[in-house]
């Protein structure tokens, strides 16, 4: 990732920020850390003047001696003069009259002087165009200089001179430079492009062709700047990105930081136009993802009928989409906040819901950074929390406010805390809020009160508590606190139009004291609205208000008029005169708004043609209509229309030049456009890819019931799959690999060279023994080629190399024909459809023949394949789930069958046995309410309609534990309405399924899962166990397959393999036995390798306990 | 992209301007000054200011405002991060970042990552594991929130092209981390070790964060009794600091700071150890305690004089605490070993651990 090769490039990052940043060119500082590369930077910038600024006349004088110095023949004098001039420029003084004197020094041999002259030139060329032209020929000459730094510098300055006359010269220079030998010059050329474009947009077409060339550049130094030019000049030309997409993803980590930001942003836009929405199927909201298999099941069922194609296909992530997510993920660890934020927004806008939370930690880390960074990140989090509560939930405390936070940070944190508050965390949040109310910062206190109001209206449990708290605040000494509370209480009462008479009365009393207009207005509105609740107080309030009317603020006056109207309609005897009086006062009020209002009201309340007129009749209904309650919601709710992390998002307004993020297309555009002639670099095995890979296993089955195109998709992705697999160490040439595979699988016909010749030249030329990334690409290529040439069944099974194509199963008869499939097989980016009906094939041991197939499976595991086999040991004893006492006579026992569950392969199948211990019949035993956490899914057992006294009935339950030991909680309901809550947690060993593989592959996979992924320990059993004993013990506890073919007692190392049910993560267990003569007390070592550390550790614990038996 | 940059000092003078595209007149800064005058505190100036034609994105560091002008949409963090890097670079070059220093220095020479053929007579690599404890302690003394922010800062002076590998005894402690670009992230992912070719000189190798899972030790406690209501115009203050979970080390350089509410006119306090100052303008009370020993707990007590007539403040101010503990990384992170490949000589290696307070606040 952080490759040592890049050191010299990254090296001058700091420098170029300073040097180039203040140097002749912003772009090298901004887009390109490499700017100064090896001595090019170091521009001299700010000057110090010998004396502080004097009078203008003094200035003139000084300019004279500067001129003299510039004219002198001594370099050090010139240098001194230039330093002072540049100092003046930096201070914003006008030094343009020195132009002629300076510009002739452009030919100076002294590099320091030259650089300063360049800087000066860039600043003033626009003003002195004619004179600036004098220097152009110098640059033109420099562009041909043998030294790359001089060439680059010349181009930089040339492109920074904003003189329209030289556009053709610039164009020429750029065209020459993009094919320059030196990447540094090419990079500079990329920087020059936007400058030329801003000078003359007419050049766009030609520039686009230049950009296309640059985008194809393979040097990481250039790519970042090329993308920057692309973004500035032609962001709409998405077609230019296609061919470079995979390259960009793969080199992303090696590009310097600023380039990464630009590229990530560009790729976000790109991906939104090219891939379909990964969250399409689970609808909006915060729910966890629905299990994958459910969909596939229903899909394959319906597929038999005619509805094919019309139905929504199960979502399968495009491999390029996955690649993008995978290659940006490591950048979350960047030290650059902009990069981290870039990745975070990319995940927010592109990742499946379940994966977005990967960015949480990194975002929280940014909160420790500078205030400005905090501000931006908090704004983003505030906007994210309106949709994704769960993501930041564990970090609630990171948003607690400190007294030293600046005030807008406080407000943002408050916003987030409010968004995050749930039933479970509200007490903590409210306790925090309580401390905030005592703060000295009054705006913050006001915001806190608002936040309490929002919590109260969002979370029903605490509404009353909050309301009580707010009412208590009404007696606060600080008036602004009281005022804010009044406003919030008003809103709350509106949302809760229940009996809150006491509060309203209390507030009516407040009118006498409280001065803040907004609060007064709120109280008056409340009294008017609910005047029927306080019939005695309301008229009196109006009386007082009428007295003070002329001294009130407009907003209060309006509410007084309102109150008068409402009272007059409900209680005319007491208030009619008062209302008349108020109306009269308002009629002559300076505010036209108020005059206007009162004119309208008078006609409604005191209609000219008597109270029975049409207006009069409806007046009451108009005034006393039930008003919709105000919704107290996050002000960040609508921010999501802007791209996260963008300037527009931050200021919540469309900024100049903001580009809308496209919404996902309904149908993915042709993914083949991204197939490039550049071979795919290595794809490291990554957990993020796991689900995809899992699907690959079953590609043959999907081809069975999918339509023709999805079939070829599946097989081609199978080949992508094999490329991933073989990356682990298949270093032979492509041909060998293909042959090996053929041997391993007698059914597969020999590879067809003709097809592999269709691969790009790099692919077929891989006879070398190098074990580099190109190699893998080619291996996979010819692998798929051979498949496509073969018969359809071969294509399916051999493409799915790591999967378990059933040796005994009849081959599926899907498959696309001839040329068409060849085309499609060449693409490596689509993913097969998910698991279909595969589970029903006998090869998996089915339900009835647990052990039969295992031998055969082990035998076929010669090649680099991982094959599913059936359980090698099935426990027979039952454990109790419900005892007769709690179940009031119903006893439920269970055992793990270790056979695949019919409904979904990810489910652990649990056999339940119901026994009726009572004397009465039991009827209709079924699953009641389910309380499943953490994405667990449960397939209910078939209801038992009748259970005779003393009788026993079996049934099977399927639970997808999601590779966790979370208990599945549900109720078993019996006919009598009796509900028995049960909780079923599987030991780690039962959420695995056994797989076999060759010893060699085992070792290689194990080597990949070292470090954190390895959990090891040792136990000392009472007596020295034999390998057979140990094998039995392990198999009894854990549903894995023993790999060692040698069953003798001499073996000192036992190997077992399995994969987790839900995600198919590989689990490798190695048990090392002490030497046979080691005697008692010798330790047995157990090592578990698994990508999921939790699984590994828990498994280790279980195994250790088991081995001590 | 950034159009222009202005550096503004506290007095509101633009003392440096730089334009990368066309020149934007410095009068654009008036919008910034407006916002500045509205803010009570320099840190309250909003980082992004929208003006009719431009967007001003600014950072405030070392008493200077760095105001950049953008004309169109771009990631604000990009600009902010860039500006902070500018300041960091200044600090690297000048050792500090002040107006006079910036004015003085204008020659920025180029320092490469590693010069070719670096040669040192003493080959040494020093690593500082610095941990900062961030905490909020509520008034009853229980920890509301505590976490650790750690850094590994290096000073590496090694000849040639050394390839270093650093392993930790307990790398699983890290909740979250970010690295200097020289670290090979893949090896970290697979083996949890830091493998890198160091840049020449000082740099920050890694930052990490520990908090969500582990229990963070809070080394000090503060017993406090602050009251503003003892009588008309007077208040009382009584503070005692004591060690809590220090793992056998002494806590040094302890400093307590309290931002007194505006009603407080003066403080008459006597410390049992250390020095107390109160600045009546900023109303900052600071008590330099020094070392905290278990045997003699430092105490500060006395009276506060309040503005008469005005109601006493209703809330007590929070206490900001600073301390250092040397030779200890409070999280328990430990460097296991440091190996060097690629060069023959034997370098001198040293690792130093320091724990200090980060944003450590005691609510009263």
Give the tens place of pLDDT for each residue, A76-104.
888 888 888 888 888 777 887 888 888 88
Interface touch B106/A87, C-beta < 8 Å: yes
Q: Considering only CB atoms, which chain B residues are within 8 Å of A17? A: 82, 85-86, 89
| Residue A2 contacts B, CB cutoff 8 Å | yes
SS3 content of chain B, % helix, strand, coil (to 5): 15, 50, 40
Element of type H or E holding A954: strand A952-960
Interface touch B50/A653, C-beta < 8 Å: yes
Q: Compute φ and ψ for B86, nearest 5 degrees.
A: -60, -45
User: What DSSP state is assigned to residue A348?
Assistant: H
User: What DSSP state is assigned to residue B59?
Assistant: E
**pLDDT of A979 over the 50 cut:** yes
**Who wins on pLDDT, A537 or A1026?**
A537
Burial of A737 (0-12, 13-18, 19+ CB in 10 A): buried
Q: How many CB atoms lie within 10 A of CB B342?
A: 12
Closest listed residue to residue A759, CA positions, set A730, A723, A709: A723
Residue matched to tokens 């910038």: A45
Which pLDDT score, from 0 to 100, does residue A536 have?
Answer: 84
- Average pLDDT value for residue range A941-966: 81
| Rounded Cα distance, A292 and A657, in Å | 40
Closest residue to A2, CB basis, from B147, B172, B182 = B182
Q: Considering only CB atoms, which chain A residues are within 8 Å of B62? A: none
**Who wins on pLDDT, A62 or A134?**
A134
How much is the pTM? 0.64
3-state secondary structure of A533: coil
Closest listed residue to residue B148, CA positions, set B181, B173, B179: B173
Interface touch B185/A365, C-beta < 8 Å: no
Which pLDDT score, from 0 to 100, does residue B90 have?
Answer: 81
Which pLDDT score, from 0 to 100, does residue A91 have?
Answer: 79
| Rounded Cα distance, A392 and A417, in Å | 10
Q: Considering only CB atoms, which chain B residues are within 8 Å of A656? A: 71-73
Instruction: Give B105-142 as a DSSP string.
Output: --B-----SS-TT---SS-EEEEEEEEEEEEEE-TTS-
A929: its two tokens: 């309410």
Architecture of domain B2-105: 2-Layer Sandwich (3.30)
Q: How many CB atoms lie within 10 A of CB A628?
A: 8
Distances from the Cα of A40 to the Cα of A149, A151, A294, angstroms? 6, 10, 60
Q: Considering only CB atoms, which chain B residues are within 8 Å of A261? A: 75, 78
Closest residue to B104, CB basis, from A48, A341, A342 = A48
Q: A633 to chain B, minimum CA–CA distance in Å?
A: 24
Interface touch B320/A655, C-beta < 8 Å: no
Interface touch A368/B134, C-beta < 8 Å: yes
The overall average pLDDT reported for chain A is: 73
Which pLDDT score, from 0 to 100, does residue A497 have?
Answer: 64
Model confidence pLDDT, tens digit, residues A579-605: 889 999 999 989 999 999 999 888 888
**pLDDT of A345 over the 70 cut:** yes
Domain B124-216+328-362, CATH homologous superfamily name and number: Mu homology domain, subdomain B (2.60.40.1170)
Contacts by residues A1048-1051 (CB-CB < 8 Å, ≥ 24 positions apart): A1049/A1076, A1050/A1076, A1051/A1027
User: What DSSP state is assigned to residue A217?
Assistant: -
CA nearest A24 in B: which residue? B20
* CATH number belonging to the domain at B220-326, selected among 3.40.50.720, 2.60.40.1170, 3.50.50.60, 2.40.10.480: 2.60.40.1170
CA angle A213, A217, A222 (to 5 degrees): 110
CATH 3.30.450.60 segments of chain B: 2-105
**Who wins on pLDDT, B80 or A306?**
B80
Model confidence pLDDT, tens digit, residues A742-796: 444 434 344 444 443 334 444 333 344 444 434 443 334 333 433 433 343 433 3
A1063: its two tokens: 């995600």
Instruction: Give yes or no for a contact between A850 and A898, defined as CB atoms under 8 angstroms apart.
Output: yes
CA nearest B358 in A: which residue? A368
Which pLDDT score, from 0 to 100, does residue A342 have?
Answer: 93
Interface touch B110/A439, C-beta < 8 Å: no
- The pLDDT-based confidence of A138 (bands split at 50, 70, 90) is confident
| Rounded Cα distance, A866 and A858, in Å | 10
Model confidence pLDDT, tens digit, residues A1089-1104: 888 888 888 888 888 8
Which pLDDT score, from 0 to 100, does residue A1032 have?
Answer: 83
**Who wins on pLDDT, A23 or A627?**
A627
- Based on DSSP, count helices (H) and strands (E) in chain B, helices before strands: 4, 21
Instruction: Give yes or no for a contact between A48 and B16, defined as CB atoms under 8 angstroms apart.
Output: no
| Residue A338 contacts B, CB cutoff 8 Å | yes
Torsion, CA B137, CA B139, CA B141, CA B145, rounded to 10: -20
**pLDDT of A905 over the 90 cut:** no
Burial of A424 (0-12, 13-18, 19+ CB in 10 A): exposed
Interface touch B192/A1012, C-beta < 8 Å: yes
Interface touch B75/A341, C-beta < 8 Å: yes
Positions of chain B with pLDDT lower than 50, given as ranges? 107-112
Q: B249 to chain A, minimum CA–CA distance in Å?
A: 27
Q: DSSP strand E in A757-829: where?
A: none
Q: A538 to chain B, minimum CA–CA distance in Å?
A: 33
Q: Considering only CB atoms, which chain A residues are within 8 Å of B179? A: 2, 333-335
| Rounded Cα distance, B164 and B197, in Å | 6
Interface touch B75/A407, C-beta < 8 Å: no
Q: Considering only CB atoms, which chain B residues are within 8 Å of A658? A: 72-73
Which pLDDT score, from 0 to 100, does residue A692 have?
Answer: 39
Q: A817 to chain B, minimum CA–CA distance in Å?
A: 42
| Residue A51 contacts B, CB cutoff 8 Å | no
| Rounded Cα distance, A406 and A138, in Å | 53
**pLDDT of A289 over the 80 cut:** no
**pLDDT of A740 over the 70 cut:** no
Q: Considering only CB atoms, which chain B residues are within 8 Å of A397? A: 144-145
Interface touch A647/B186, C-beta < 8 Å: no
Closest residue to A333, CB basis, from B23, B163, B177 = B177
| Residue A94 contacts B, CB cutoff 8 Å | no
Model confidence pLDDT, tens digit, residues A682-719: 444 444 333 434 443 343 433 334 344 434 343 444 34
Interface touch A647/B183, C-beta < 8 Å: no
- Average pLDDT value for residue range A56-68: 63
| Rounded Cα distance, A834 and A713, in Å | 12
Q: A318 to chain B, minimum CA–CA distance in Å?
A: 24
**pLDDT of A1070 over the 60 cut:** yes
- The pLDDT-based confidence of A158 (bands split at 50, 70, 90) is confident
**What is the Cβ-side half-sphere exposure of residue A593, based on CA atoms within 13 angstroms?**
7
Element of type H or E holding A306: none
**pLDDT of A226 over the 80 cut:** yes
Enumerate the β-bridge partners of residue B338: B166
DSSP H helical ranges for A143-277: 148-160, 167-177, 183-199, 204-215, 220-233, 239-242, 245-251, 257-274
Which pLDDT score, from 0 to 100, does residue A1030 have?
Answer: 81
CA angle A875, A881, A883 (to 5 degrees): 125
Which pLDDT score, from 0 to 100, does residue B151 have?
Answer: 92
**pLDDT of A1081 over the 50 cut:** yes
**pLDDT of A558 over the 60 cut:** yes
- Tell me the longest C-alpha to C-alpha distance in chain A: 119
**pLDDT of A830 over the 60 cut:** no
Length of chain B: 364
| Residue A448 contacts B, CB cutoff 8 Å | no
CATH 2.60.40.1170 segments of chain B: 124-216+328-362, 220-326
Which pLDDT score, from 0 to 100, does residue B145 have?
Answer: 85
Element of type H or E holding B167: strand B163-168
Model confidence pLDDT, tens digit, residues A842-870: 333 333 333 333 333 344 444 567 777 77
| Residue A18 contacts B, CB cutoff 8 Å | yes
Instruction: Give A776-795 as a DSSP string.
Output: HHHHHHHHHHHHHHS-HHHH
**pLDDT of A42 over the 70 cut:** no
């Amino acid at each position: 990732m952080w490759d040592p090769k890049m050191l010299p490039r990254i090296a001058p990052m700091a420098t170029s920020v300073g040097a180039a940043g203040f140097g002749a060119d912003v772009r090298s500082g901004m887009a390109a850390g490499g700017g100064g590369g090896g001595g090019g930077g170091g521009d001299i910038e700010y000057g110090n003047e010998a004396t502080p600024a004097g009078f203008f006349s003094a200035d003139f004088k000084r300019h004279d001696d500067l001129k003299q110095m510039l004219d002198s023949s001594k370099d050090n004098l010139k240098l001194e003069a230039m330093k002072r001039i540049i100092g003046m420029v930096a201070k914003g003084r006008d030094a343009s009259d020195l132009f002629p004197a300076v510009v002739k020094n452009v030919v100076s041999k002294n590099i320091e002087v030259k650089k300063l002259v360049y800087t000066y030139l860039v600043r003033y060329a626009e003003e002195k165009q004619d004179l600036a032209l004098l220097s152009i020929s110098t640059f033109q000459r420099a562009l041909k200089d043998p030294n790359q730094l001089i060439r680059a510098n010349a181009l930089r300055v040339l492109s920074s001179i904003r003189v329209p006359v030289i556009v053709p010269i610039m164009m020429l220079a750029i065209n020459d430079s993009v094919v320059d030998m030196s990447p540094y010059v090419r990079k500079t050329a990329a920087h020059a492009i936007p400058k030329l474009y801003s000078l003359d947009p007419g050049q766009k077409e030609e520039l686009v062709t230049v950009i296309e060339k640059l985008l194809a550049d393979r040097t990481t130094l250039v790519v970042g700047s090329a993308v920057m030019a692309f973004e500035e000049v032609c962001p709409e030309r998405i077609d230019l990105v296609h061919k470079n997409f995979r390259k960009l993803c793969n080199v992303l980590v090696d590009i310097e930081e600023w380039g990464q930001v630009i590229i990530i942003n560009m790729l976000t836009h790109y991906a939104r136009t090219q891939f379909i929405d990964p969250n399409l199927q689970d609808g909006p909201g915060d729910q966890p993802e629905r299990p994958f298999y459910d969909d596939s099941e229903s899909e394959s069922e319906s597929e038999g009928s005619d509805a094919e194609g019309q139905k929504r296909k199960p979502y399968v992530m495009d491999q390029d989409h996955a690649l993008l997510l995978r290659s940006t993920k490591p950048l979350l660890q960047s030290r650059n906040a902009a990069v981290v934020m870039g990745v975070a927004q990319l995940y927010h806008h592109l990742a499946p819901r379940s994966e977005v939370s990967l960015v949480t930690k990194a975002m929280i880390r940014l909160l420790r950074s500078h205030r400005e960074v905090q501000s931006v990140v908090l704004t983003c989090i505030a906007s994210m929390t309106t949709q994704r509560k769960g993501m930041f939930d564990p970090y609630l405390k990171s948003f607690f406010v400190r007294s030293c936070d600046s005030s807008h940070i406080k407000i943002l944190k408050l916003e987030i805390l409010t968004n995050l508050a749930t039933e479970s965390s509200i007490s903590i949040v409210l306790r925090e809020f309580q401390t905030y109310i005592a703060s000295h910062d009054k705006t913050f206190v006001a915001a806190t009160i608002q936040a309490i109001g929002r919590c109260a209206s969002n979370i029903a449990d605490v509404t009353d508590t909050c309301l009580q708290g707010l009412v208590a605040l009404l007696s606060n000494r600080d008036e602004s606190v009281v005022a804010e509370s009044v406003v919030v209480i008003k809103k709350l009462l509106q949302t809760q139009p229940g009996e809150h008479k006491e509060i309203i009365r209390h507030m009516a009393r407040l009118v006498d004291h409280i001065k803040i207009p907004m609060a007064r207005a709120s109280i008056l509105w409340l009294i008017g609205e609910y005047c029927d609740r306080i019939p005695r107080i309301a008229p009196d309030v109006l009386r007082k208000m009428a007295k003070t009317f002329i001294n009130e603020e407009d907003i209060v006056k309006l509410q007084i008029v309102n109150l008068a109207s409402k009272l007059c309609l409900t209680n005319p005897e007491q208030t009619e005169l008062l209302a008349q009086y108020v109306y009269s006062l308002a009629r002559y009020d300076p505010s036209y708004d108020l005059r206007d209002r009162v004119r309208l009201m008078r006609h409604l309340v005191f209609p000219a043609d008597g109270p029975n007129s049409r207006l009069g009749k409806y007046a009451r209904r108009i005034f006393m209509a039930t008003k919709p309650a105000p919704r107290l919601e996050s002000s960040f709710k609508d921010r999501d229309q802007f791209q996260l992390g963008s300037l527009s998002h931050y200021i919540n307004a469309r900024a100049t030049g903001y580009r809308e993020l496209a919404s996902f297309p309904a149908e993915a555009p042709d993914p083949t456009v991204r197939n490039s002639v550049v071979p795919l670099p290595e794809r490291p095995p990554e957990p993020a890819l796991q689900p995809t890979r899992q699907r690959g296993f079953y590609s043959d089955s999907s081809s069975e019931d999918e339509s023709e195109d999805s079939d070829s998709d599946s097989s081609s992705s199978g080949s992508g799959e094999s490329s991933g697999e073989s990356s682990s160490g298949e270093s032979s040439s492509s041909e060998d690999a293909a042959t090996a595979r053929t041997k391993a699988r007698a059914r597969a016909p020999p590879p067809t060279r003709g097809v592999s010749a269709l691969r790009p030249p790099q692919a077929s030329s891989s006879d070398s023994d190098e074990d580099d990334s190109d190699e893998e690409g080619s291996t996979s290529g010819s692998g798929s080629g051979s498949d496509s040439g073969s018969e359809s069944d071969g294509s399916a099974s051999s493409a799915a190399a790591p999967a378990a194509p059933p040796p005994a199963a009849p081959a599926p008869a899907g498959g696309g024909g001839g040329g068409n499939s060849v085309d499609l097989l060449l693409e490596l980016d689509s993913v097969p459809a998910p698991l279909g009906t595969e589970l029903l094939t006998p090869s998996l041991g089915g339900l009835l023949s647990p052990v039969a197939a295992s031998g055969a499976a082990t035998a076929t595991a010669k090649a680099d394949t991982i094959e599913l086999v059936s359980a090698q040991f099935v426990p027979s004893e039952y454990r109790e789930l419900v005892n007769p006492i709690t179940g009031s006579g119903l006893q439920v026992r269970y055992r793990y069958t270790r056979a695949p569950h019919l409904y979904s392969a990810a489910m652990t199948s649990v056999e339940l046995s119901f026994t009726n211990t009572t004397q009465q019949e039991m009827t209709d035993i079924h699953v009641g309410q389910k309380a499943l956490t953490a994405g667990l899914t449960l397939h209910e057992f078939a209801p038992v309609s009748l259970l005779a006294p003393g009788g026993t009935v079996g049934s099977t339950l399927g639970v997808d534990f999601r590779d966790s030991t979370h208990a599945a909680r549900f109720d078993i309901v019996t006919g009598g309405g009796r509900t028995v809550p049960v909780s079923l947690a599987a030991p780690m060993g039962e959420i695995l399924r056994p797989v076999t593989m060759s010893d060699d592959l085992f070792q290689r996979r194990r080597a990949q899962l070292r470090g954190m992924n390895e959990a090891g320990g040792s136990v000392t059993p009472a007596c020295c166990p034999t390998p057979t004993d140990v094998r039995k013990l392990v198999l009894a506890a854990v549903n894995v397959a023993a790999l060692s073919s040698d069953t003798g007692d001499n073996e000192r190392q036992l190997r077992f393999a399995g994969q987790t049910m839900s995600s198919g993560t590989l689990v490798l267990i190695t048990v090392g036995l002490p030497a046979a003569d080691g005697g008692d007390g010798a330790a047995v070592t157990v090592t578990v390798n698994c990508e999921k550390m939790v699984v590994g550790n828990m498994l280790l614990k279980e195994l250790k306990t088991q081995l001590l038996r | 992209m950034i159009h222009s940059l202005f550096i503004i000092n506290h007095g509101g003078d633009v003392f440096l301007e730089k334009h990368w595209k066309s020149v934007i007149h410095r009068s654009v800064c008036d919008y910034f000054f407006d916002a500045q005058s509205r803010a009570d505190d320099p840190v309250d100036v909003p980082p992004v200011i929208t003006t009719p034609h431009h967007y001003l994105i600014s950072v405030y560091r070392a008493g200077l405002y760095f105001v950049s002008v953008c004309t169109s949409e771009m990631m604000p963090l990009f600009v902010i991060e860039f500006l902070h890097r500018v300041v960091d670079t200044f600090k690297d070059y000048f050792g500090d970042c002040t107006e006079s220093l910036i004015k003085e220095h204008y020659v920025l020479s180029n320092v490469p990552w590693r010069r070719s053929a670096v040669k040192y007579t003493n080959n040494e690599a020093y690593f500082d594991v610095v941990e900062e404890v961030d905490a909020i302690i509520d008034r009853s003394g229980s920890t509301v929130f505590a976490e650790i922010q750690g850094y590994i800062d290096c000073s590496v002076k090694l000849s040639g092209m050394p390839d270093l590998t650093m392993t930790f005894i307990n790398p699983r402690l890290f909740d979250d981390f970010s690295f200097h670009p020289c670290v090979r992230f893949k090896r970290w992912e697979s083996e949890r070790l830091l493998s890198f070719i160091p840049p020449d000189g000082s740099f920050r190798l890694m930052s990490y964060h520990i908090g969500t899972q582990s229990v963070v030790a809070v080394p000090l406690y503060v017993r406090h009794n602050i009251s503003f209501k003892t009588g008309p115009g007077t208040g009382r203050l009584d503070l005692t600091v004591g060690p809590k979970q220090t793992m056998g080390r002494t806590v040094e350089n302890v400093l307590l700071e309290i931002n007194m509410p505006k009603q407080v006119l003066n403080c008459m306090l006597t410390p049992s150890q250390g020095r107390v100052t109160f600045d009546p303008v900023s109303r900052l009370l600071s008590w330099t305690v020094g070392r905290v020993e278990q045997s003699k707990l430092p105490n500060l007590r006395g009276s506060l004089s309040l503005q008469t007539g005005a109601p006493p403040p209703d809330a007590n101010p929070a206490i900001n605490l600073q301390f250092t503990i040397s030779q200890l990384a409070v999280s328990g992170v430990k460097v296991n070993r440091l190996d060097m490949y690629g060069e023959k000589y034997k370098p001198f290696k040293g690792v130093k651990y320091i724990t200090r307070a980060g944003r450590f606040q005691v609510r009263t």
